[in-house]
Amino acid sequence: MADGWTDRSGRSLINFLVNCPARTMFLKSVNASGHSHIEEYLFNLLDSVVKEIGEDYVVQVITENAASYVMAGRLLMEKRRRLFWTPYAPHCIDLMLEDIGRLFINVIARARRITVFMYKHALLLSRMRKHIGGNLLRPVVIRFTTAFLTLQRLHAKKSELRSFVVSVDFTSGPWSKKAEGKRVQQTILSQSFWTQVVKALKSSEPLVTVLRLVDGDEKPAMDYIYDAMERAKNKIMDHFNHRDCDYRPILDIIDRRWGSQMSSPLYSAAYILNPTCLFTSVDPAEALTMHMVGFIDVLERMIPNRGEKDKISTLLDFYTKSEGIFSRDIVIRHRTMKLPTDWWAAYGVDTNRKDPALKKLAIKILRLTCSASGCKRNWSTFEVNHTKKRNRLEQKKLNNLVFV
C-alpha cells in the first residue's frame, strides 16, 4: 500500500505499508521531494518495493487515485505480470460523494452556515449543546464525507434545533438580532430546507455505509465491496420510490466513477468466490456470467501454470453448481453463517479430489483489503517524530522510529 503526503517541513513523502491477514505493518517511507511526481518515477519506485518484498508475495498494489499513480500502476502491471494495481477505494467513493454534493450545493452551503454560526459564539454554542444534547459537527478524515455527515446530524436534531431557535436561549442573545442570525433561524424553520436535506441524505447515506465498510484494513472488504455497491444503488432507488428522474443522476455519477477507477478484476473474482454474495444474489447464474471475465483475468495473471488453471476451472464448476462437497446441507447453510475465508478453509477441498488449488486462490483473494488507511495513520506519527529538535533526522532513522 502506498500513499503520498506533504509534512509540515514541506517534504514530499510516500509511505509504504504491507497488508496481510495478520495485520498491516509499516515498511518504509521515501522522501520524494527532489523528484517530480511523474509516472516513470512512481513506477520505478513501486517496482523497487515489489522487488524488495518479492514479486511472488505480492497480490496487489494499492495507491491513491491521482493520474500519475494510475499510469504508474498500469506500467507496473505490464512489467509484473502476476500482480494487480488497484486504486484506494474509499477515495473513489469519497469522489462520488463530492460529485453528488454538487447536486446539493445550496443545501450544503446553508447547512454549513448553520454550523459555522453556532460554533462562532461560545455562549450560543453552550446553550445549543445543552438544548439539543450534543454537538452538530461530526469531523471525519475524508473531507467530502463531512458535509453529508453534518446533514445527517442536523436532520437527527431537527426538532431540537427548531425549538431552540424560537426559545429564549436563542432569541434573548445579541446573535438573534444580527442579519446572519436571522438567516440561520429562517433556514432552520424552513420546510423546504429540510426537504432538500432529506433528498441529499437519500442520495448519500447508502454510499457512506459502503465507505465505512471499506475504509479500514483490520477487516478485509475485498469480498464485499462489489455487492455493497450494488446494494447501495438499489437502496438509493428504493429511497426515491424507483422514480428514474430522481435517482438516475445519482446512479450515473456512481457508475461513471466506478467504471473509470474501480473496475478491477479482483472485485469480480472476490464476488464469485464469496458464497454469501454469489448464492444470495437475485440471479446467481446471471451474476456468475457478469463477473466471469474478471475471474478469468485474475486466473490468468495469478496462476501461470496451465495445468493449475485447468484444475481451478474444474473445481470452480463444482462450487458454482453446488456439486460434491458443495452440495452438502451444512456447507450450503454455512454460506451465510461463516466468514467467506473461514468457509473456504473448512469446506474448500472436496474429499474425493483433495485438490486445494481453488481453496488457496479463494483465500488469497478474499483476504485482500481495498483501502490504504494504514498509510494515512502514519502521518501523525511522522509529525510527532519530525519536530524542530529532530529536523535533522536521516530518513532511515525516521523510518525506524515510525516502524516502532
Taking only the tens place, the pLDDT of each residue in 199-252 is: 999 999 999 989 888 876 556 678 788 888 999 999 999 999 999 999 999 999
Radius of gyration of the chain (CA): 25
In this structure, the answer to whether residues 175 and 212 fall within a common structural domain is yes
Say which CATH number the domain at 61 has: 3.30.420.10
Count of C-beta atoms within a 10 Å radius of residue 144: 18
d(CA 108, CA 114): 10
Q: Whose CA is closest to 49, among 5, 108, 3? A: 3
Same domain, 217 and 276: no
Task: Render pLDDT for 46-69 as a digit per residue (tens, 0 to 9).
Answer: 999 999 999 999 999 998 888 888
One domain for residues 246 and 97: yes
Looking at the structure, tell me whether residues 283 and 362 fall in a common domain: yes
Residue 326 and residue 393 in one domain: no
pLDDT 10s digits, 20-54: 888 888 888 888 777 766 888 999 999 999 999 99
Exposure class string for 62-83: b at 16+ Cβ within 10 A, else e: bbbbeebbbebbebbbeebeeb
Q: pTM for the whole thing?
A: 0.81
CA 400 to each of CA 7, 396, 404: distance values in angstroms, whole numbers, following the listed order = 17, 6, 6
Q: Where a domain ends, among 263, 289, 310?
A: 263
Containing structural domain, residue 71: 2-88+372-403
What share of the chain has pLDDT > 70, as a percent? 87
Give the position of cell 525516521.
Answer: 398
Quote the cell numbers at residue 151: 446533514
Distances in whole angstroms, Cα of residue 302 to Cα of each of 60, 333, 341, 364, 372: 10, 30, 18, 10, 22
